[in-house]
Amino acid sequence: MAEDFSNRDGLIWMDGEIIPWRDAKVHVLTHGLHYASSVFEGERAYDGNIFLCHEHSERFIRSADLIDMRMPYSAKELDEAKYEILKANDLTNAYIRPVAWRGSEQLGISAQDTKTHVAIACWDWPSYFGEEAREKGISIQTSKWRAPMPNTATTNSKAAGLYATHTMSKHAAEANGYTDALMLDYRGNVAELTGANLFMVKDRKIITPDPDCFLNGLTRQTVIKLAEEHGIPLTVETVTPEELTQADEVFCTGTAAEVTAIGKIDDTSFTVGPVTRQLRDAYESLVREPAKEQLNPQPIISRNSSHFFDIT
């Protein structure tokens, strides 16, 4: 049995205060728990620097906006809170989980009188898929659940309500011995994994689907830029499930997943190829580039990233 996340040593930042891990609780009549009025982020710190810290804070606020929930902190205040809790826990390499939710001030569909509460936890989490995935790649199984039409859900957000189908998809894949699920979109084309974006390589050209109905991950955007810097041709276009089976290489990207090869999709196997390795190495060294200023970290991708990253 895995260790219960509510029963750990450490400290959590909650509504502006740093409190003992085990005291970071909410009431059962919390709006977020009943109506999925909750958004979250997933970030990683490398050698004390939170990769794309500010972009994650901006996306966090944007996700809240999308579900009509007001974030009570600015992106800069969130950046500072993340560094504060990382330091309080004496962590330099860590996963960081900010979460915001509507409280118990009102319970019903209407939530006009609720307050937005915010917590930030962080913990040591070396590898999302485990070390074996590095050499062999992970296995994924196509889910029966699909990425929804953009006018039926806040698809380009990290709103908690979107993840019910992701959890069900992952459970079904795991029950069949796969690591994760492949989600198709509502049209039946390839979309993403349950917590990562997908890329395929064919004849040394990279293809990734247009995130018009799923999260345009910050790692996805970073890897697109890295491919450009390495002179590897890349196009954003529709990928059908059939086209995917013809790929030379397939890999996925995400803050937790980083760049991870995919070794099997349903019954089709793939080898971990040179393009995947090259971009994985490039990503691993980029995230560990020393930050220019620790307290007000600049995005460490080389150019003015607020013009590059899609967080709107």
Ligand X SMILES: Cc1ncc(COP(=O)(O)O)c(C=O)c1O
Question: What residues are labeled active site?
Answer: 158
Dihedral class, residue 265 (left if φ above 0, else alpha if ψ from -120 to 50, else beta): beta
Options 32, 98, 103, 195; binder of ligand X; rule CB under 6 A: 195
Written as six digits, the tokens of 252 are 């996925």
- Say if CB 92 and CB 287 are below 8 A apart: no
Amino acid at site 261: A
Residue nearest to ligand X (CB): 217
Options 155, 197, 276, 305; binder of ligand X; rule CB under 6 A: 197
Give the interface segment with ligand X, choosing from 67-75, 80-88, 211-219, 304-312 (CB under 6 A): 211-219
Nearest to ligand X of 109, 126 (CB atom): 126
Options 71, 215, 224, 279; binder of ligand X; rule CB under 6 A: 215
Give the interface segment with ligand X, choosing from 17-25, 91-99, 190-198, 297-305 (CB under 6 A): 190-198
Considering only residues 138-177, where is the footprint of ligand X by CB under 6 A?
158
Considering only residues 28-57, where is the footprint of ligand X by CB under 6 A?
42
φ, ψ of residue 268 to 5 degrees: the values are -100, 130
Note whether 220 binds ligand X by CB under 6 A. Answer: yes
Q: Tell me the residue ranges of DSSP E strands in the chain.
A: 11-14, 17-20, 38-40, 43-46, 49-50, 94-102, 116-123, 138-147, 180-185, 190-193, 197-202, 205-208, 234-236, 249-254, 258-265, 268-269
* Of 162, 153, 150, 155, residue with least CA distance to 36: 162
Nearest to ligand X of 111, 301 (CB atom): 301
Pattern 102-141, binding to ligand X, x per CB under 6 A?
----------------------------------------
Cβ of residue 226: shortest distance to ligand X, in angstroms?
Answer: 13
* Of 256, 252, 251, residue with least CA distance to 274: 251
Nearest to ligand X of 196, 287 (CB atom): 196
Q: In 10 A of CB 49, how many CB atoms? A: 23
Cβ of residue 304: shortest distance to ligand X, in angstroms?
Answer: 19
Amino acid at site 105: E
Cβ of residue 109: shortest distance to ligand X, in angstroms?
Answer: 25
Note whether 254 binds ligand X by CB under 6 A. Answer: yes
* Of 215, 114, 124, residue with least CA distance to 166: 215
- Coil, helix or strand at residue 174: helix
Give the interface segment with ligand X, choosing from 73-81, 88-96, 114-122, 252-260 (CB under 6 A): 252-260
Options 86, 118, 218, 311; binder of ligand X; rule CB under 6 A: 218
Amino acid at site 232: I
* Of 122, 310, 125, 92, residue with least CA distance to 219: 310
> Binding residues for ligand X, how many (CB under 6 A)?
14
Q: Give the whole-angstrom CA distance, residue 219 versus residue 258.
A: 7
Give the interface segment with ligand X, choosing from 21-29, 30-38, 97-105, 195-203 (CB under 6 A): 195-203
Cβ of residue 208: shortest distance to ligand X, in angstroms?
Answer: 12
Give me the residues that bind ligand X (CB under 6 A), please. 42, 158, 192, 195-197, 215, 217-220, 253-255
